[in-house]
Structure 1
Amino acid sequence: MSNLLLITALLPVFGCVSVLLIPSHFKKLCFVIAFLTSCITLEILLYLWTIFDNSTSYFQFFASFNWFFNIFYTIGIDGISLCFLILLALLCPICILVSFNTVHKLLKEYLICFLLLESLLIQVFCVLDIIFFYIFFESVLIPMFLIIGIWGSRERKVRAAYQFFLYTLIGSLLLLVALIFLYFHAGTTDLQVLFYTTFTETQQIILWLAFFSSFAVKIPMVPFHIWLPEAHAEAPTAGSVILAGILLKMGGYGFLRFSLPLFIDASIFFTPFIFCLSIIATLYASLTTLRQVDFKKAIAYSSVAHMSFVTLGIFSYNFQAIEGSILLMLGHGLVSSALFLSVGMLYDRYKTRIIKYYSGLVQIMPLHATFFLFFIFASIAFPGTCNFIGEFLVLLGLFQINSIVCIFAGSGMILSAGYSIWLYQRMFFGTWKEQYLPKLQDISRREFWIFIPLVVCILWLGFYPDLFFQVLHSSVINLLEGFYKISPHI
């Protein structure tokens, strides 16, 4: 089964090669091969999910190959990794499908970028060597940079691509220095060995800050979020989906996989700092969302607010809160992707993202309005949706640690309901502005079937999240063992 995980990581690369060998004028064939490759990847990961052993916290489907010196290419997954891989594998076919009629130039190259991005992201979530993690973690920037810069929708796309690339690259330079120190300190880059390596208090603080500089930009936390709204505004629809759905989760995954288990003392020391930044992010991003005139930027700023809940849950060192933060990342990946798909479909029809030009859409696109309303309610954590379970568990666990922080975080939910419902009211209710919005087709059959898997997964996570919790329990308990030994009262 270890070979099956390796095949899964490399399968999109084989898809890239297949598409590369096809002449550019066979656009439909390129599209079909890319779509089938992503669907097969999803099927394999679903199969790995069915045979995953929920009772153990050890990494499963383990494989290791010597690269050079004492550095090994090692892969394996636990419950945390598996959840993110399932989310990635679900969103990639949707991204390719939504691009069928929206990408008109260099389709072959576009599909190669997406398949390469999928392969790199799979390895980010399953590689167990910190050097290889850094390589794949940074390599993700290249195809995403091309997707934004070449296939973006407006004139500022090149600027947005460079902003995205430079912010995230510079944020990771300190991480590279920290990884080099870890190699010389421990004599290995194997993560499973580093888990049992001891560091002095000063070393932990410095190394934790180096890791934080990279993960905080990726998640992103205020004030490291500047690149996100611009990247979302200029990216194509599928680019925004993969950016919000997966790339933002790399920061949260990095905190869970590296910062917490490797630097326990430093993580506890910096908890008040994280809480302050997260509360500021919740209030600032929510209030900034209220004043946006571009609906893609509004959804982008709302993502900053939602991801601040994730950091609150992760650094509460509470079983319920950490599981809630992971489920919230999964839910946010589904809901934000659905919202970006919805507004992308509107932009494809009307070629504007300025909210004031939209009004009364429910009269001309009732089916789209229904889906959008469902996703808006999912975004504000309405009971029965995935975000409700995640935010409830985060607040439940956070209240046991710090009730004051919990109250401030709860205010973010109120603001979330305010800006989300107001956005829907401005765009879909009111008088139909016929001079700006000619009566065009409601969502097509293809767009309808793009929405259906997202609706099903949002409701599934909302009504029956236990299948994911069964996968997560052992891994989260193993993650918290070190904290319980240091601070039994946590």
Structure 2
Amino acid sequence: MIDISESVMQLLLALIVVGPLLGAVAALLPAPPGLKGKSPDQAVLRHGVIVTGVILIAAIVLALGFDHDHPSKMQATTDISWIPALDVRIHLGIDGISLPLLVLTALLTFLCALHSYFKMPAGPSPKAFVALILVLESGTLATFAVLDLLLFFLAFEMVLIPMYFLIARWGGAQRTQAAWKFILYTLLGSVVMLLGLLLIGLKSGTFDMVALATDNGRGLTTSVQVIAVLAIGIGLAVKTPMWPLHSWLPDAHTAAPTVGSVLLAGVMLKMGTYGFVRILLPVAPDGMREFAPYLAAFAVVGIIYGSLACLALAKQGAKGDLKRLIAYSSVGHMGFVLLGISTMSPTGVNGALFANIAHGLITGLLFFLVGALKDRTGTSDLDTLAQESGAALYGKAPRLGGLLAFGAVASLGLPGLAGFWGEMLALFGAFKPADDLSRPAFLTFMAIAAFGTLLTAAYMLIVVRRVCMGPMPQGAATTDTPALADVQGYEFAAWTPLVALTVLAGLWPAALLGLTDPAVQQLLSGGKS
């Protein structure tokens, strides 16, 4: 690690949050003559790569300068009065919980910008596309960095409009309906969430998340906490998404362009579960205890439901869409995150945070791979891929087939890869939940969730068998000319970091748990660590 002064850390965090927004404004301006390259479109796509690359470098430097000996302490903090009448402050800071999410967001956005430079999705002007990606990045990074409830809400909402337009203007079939469903679900959830945030702020006299977490709910009555958890929890559950508030997700993923799906699964879903950990667990612990068994029940239903939906889509003759299948798998994986949070134990919450990062890496990689397969074959329909154009990937495009198999076994939780630890810790958390929670109930939830891991393995292995190991279609090239282009250089560049980090997190989980555990212990104890 490197020694960086607190003032430089503050500037780095401010740059990370505001930089993409300034880059989005610059993307809409005419390109200077010397930077146009072959065309203005190429220039603006290169601009997107440069801006997201700078933000990624800043995030890495911030992580290197982070005091890893005290990950529970808020670092790189900025605290400026913004609306004195409401005591709303521009309060930024990071700890061991938010830092991994910040770096993950910066990494995935850079990889999406790099991918788009070489493979821009068909649609309107690249200027608008790059600007929307950068606004989306700024809103997501701000969500993980702000420490004021109203600023959190503004950042939480800021990502909705760019994602709506990315789906509606650059998406595939049924994109308009999918975009409207996405925006309506999330906006309705957000209205309820705002009421809950205002209730907490007005009843406690502050919107400062650090002060509220330190107070640990002592300034709020149990009834206020219950109402706040219900209201805020609905908004967060829609974004997560939790069953049965998930139905916008498969449509959005199926219609979204590749980079839209990567960002939606990789970082936007994490905003909901982050809100549970950052706001509800420390600020309204009594309210969370009331709802924890119900949250766990919804979580395990989501795990089983998502897995059964994937099995139905993977079945021969079901005409299942591979992007839709991965979207339903996200419902199951995020169910493990919610189960970990509902245990209200350090083990479970650490598992939830680990599973968040693992899901971002693995599902981001899977959406990249399915997008590449769709570009090459013109379809993501599983029956068509298995019977006509994509079968026997191992023989026709061995690197692409190998990566798809890697993503699948990582997603099913193979030991030694990132997906294993989060789910295992969530199950351990359910085995021994917080003292005030019913252990028999959580043992039941643990057993159901463990069965869900078997279903996950089943549908992922079916996908690999059908797409990667099927018979070569009649008339396919078998000698000199491959039927499908294998992995291109820019695709290697975009996917290699995700593969490497999936392996690293699986083999060295202490790197991530060492950051999150002290911060989680402090949150759950109300700052008394």
CA distance in 1, matches of 2:53, 2:131: 15
Of residues 183-192 and 306-315 in structure 1, the stretch that sits farther from structure 2 once superposed is 183-192
Q: Which amino acid aligns with 1:407?
A: A
Query: Which one of 466, 471, 480 corresponds to residue 515 of structure 2?
Result: 471
Q: Is the 8 Å Cα contact of residues 17 and 141 (structure 2) preserved in structure 1?
A: yes
Counterpart for residue 403 of structure 1: 443
Give distance in 2, aligned partners of 1:454 and 1:473. Answer: 23
Question: Given the alignment, which residue of 140, 149, 159 partners 2:177?
Answer: 159
Deviations 1:162-201 (A, max 9, x none): 1000001101111111222233323332222323251111
Match of 1:81 among 94, 98, 104: 98
1:372 aligns to 2:391 (yes or no): no
- Residue deviations 1:60-82 (CA, integer Å, cap 9, x gap): 11102222222111111111110
* Whole-angstrom distance in 1 between the partners of 2:48 and 2:454: 42
The aligned residue for residue 488 of structure 1 is none
In structure 1, C-alpha distance between the alignment counterparts of 2:197 and 2:347, rounded to whole Å: 31
Q: Does 1:362 align with 2:394?
A: yes
SS in 2 for 1:343: helix
Q: 1: CA distance between counterparts of 2:199 and 2:356?
A: 31
1:27: how far off?
1.7
- TM, length-normalised to structure 1: 0.95
One-letter amino acid matched to 2:502: I
Alignment map for 1:330-345 (pairs within 5 Å): 330-345=357-372
Report deviation, 1:449: 1.9
Evaluate the alpha carbon distance shift between residue 396 and residue 182 of structure 1 in structure 2; reply closer, same or farther with a 3 A threshold.
closer
**Which AA in structure 1 matches 2:205?**
G
Specify the SS of the correspondent of 2:97.
Answer: helix
**Match of residue 414, structure 2, among 382, 404, 408:** 382
1:446-485 → structure 2 map (5 Å cutoff): 446-482=490-526
Which residue identity is paired with 1:420? M
Q: Quote the offset at 1:332 in angstroms.
A: 0.5
Query: Cα distance, 1:435 vs. partner?
Result: 7.3
Letter aligned with residue 525 of structure 2: E
Q: Map 1:67-216 to 2 at 5 A.
A: 67-68=82-83, 69=85, 70-100=87-117, 101-104=119-122, 105-154=124-173, 156-195=174-213, 196=215, 198-216=219-237
**Structure 1: distance between partners of 2:374 and 2:120:** 10
Whether contact under 8 Å (2:175, 2:256) holds in the other structure is yes
Q: Counterpart in 1 of 2:64?
A: 50
CA drift at 1:16: 1.5
Q: 2:16 aligns with which of 8, 12, 29?
A: 8
Pick from 74, 79, 86: which aligns with 1:59? 74
Deviation at residue 442 of structure 1 after TM alignment:
1.3
Asked if the contact 1:357/1:433 (under 8 Å) is kept, the reply is: no
Distance in 1 of aligned mates of 2:325 and 2:125:
29
Contact 2:266-2:363 within 8 A present in 1 as well: yes
| Corresponding letter in the other structure for 1:264 | P
Q: Give CA deviations for 1:116-140 in whole Å, capped at 9, x if unaligned.
A: 1111111110101111111110111
State the Cα RMSD in Å: 1.8
1:371 alignment partner AA: L
Q: C-alpha separation between the residues in 1 aligned to 2:204 and 2:507?
A: 45
Q: Which structure 2 residue ranges, 5 or more long, are not aligned?
A: 1-8, 314-319, 386-390, 434-441
Q: Deviations over 1:364-404 (max 9, x none)?
A: 11110011111111001111100112122222222123332
Match of 2:489 in 1: 445
The separation in 2 between residues aligned to 1:87 and 1:465, in whole angstroms, is 16
Distance, in Å, in 2 between the alignment partners of 1:351 and 1:22 is 34
**Matched pairs, number:** 484
The answer to whether the 8 Å contact 2:112/2:494 transfers is no
What SS does structure 2 have at the residue aligned with 1:102? coil
**Alignment correspondent of 1:264:** 285
Q: Does 1:427 find its partner at 2:467?
A: yes
Separation of aligned partners in 2, 1:189 and 1:398: 32
The answer on 1:296 being equivalent to 2:319 is no
Question: Stretches of 4+ moved more than 4 A in 1?
Answer: 434-438, 482-485
Specify the SS of the correspondent of 1:94.
helix
Deviations 1:20-58 (A, max 9, x none): 223494122212221111111111111111121233322
Separation (CA, whole Å) in 1 of partners of 2:17 and 2:448:
41
Instruction: Determine helix, strand or coil for the equivalent of 1:113.
Output: helix
User: SS where residue 432 of structure 1 aligns?
Assistant: coil
1: CA distance, partners of 2:145 / 2:476: 48
Deviation at 1:216, TM superposition (A): 0.6
Name the SS for the 1:199 alignment partner: coil
1:314 matches 2:341: yes
1:436 shift after superposition? 9.7
Query: Aligned-pair distance for 1:290?
Result: 0.8
Q: Structure 2: how far apart are the matches of 1:59 and 1:435?
A: 62
2:94–2:145 CA contact under 8 A, matched in 1: yes
| Mean Cα deviation higher: 300-309 or 383-392 | 383-392
CA shift for structure 1 position 94: 0.9
**Which is further off, 20-29 or 246-255?**
20-29
Contact 1:98/1:450 (<8 A) preserved: yes
User: How far apart, in 2, do the equivalents of 1:463 and 1:89 lie?
Assistant: 23
1:280 corresponds to: 301
8 A Cα contact 2:45 2:116, kept in partner: no
Amino acid in structure 2 at the alignment position of 1:459:
V
- Answer yes or no: is 1:324 the counterpart of 2:380: no
- For residues 278 and 494 of structure 2, what CA distance do their matches in structure 1 show? 32
Tell me how far 1:90 sits from its aligned partner.
0.9
Residues 166 and 257 in structure 2, CA contact (< 8 A), matched pair in contact too: yes
Deviations 1:287-319 (A, max 9, x none): 011111111110000110011000111111222
Aligned to 2:439: none
Q: Distance in 1 between matches of 2:474 and 2:261?
A: 28
Percent identity of the aligned residues? 35
TM-score normalized with structure 2 length: 0.88
Q: CA 1:284–1:450 in structure 2 vs 1: closer, same or farther (change >3 Å)?
A: same
Q: Is 1:253 paired with 2:274?
A: yes
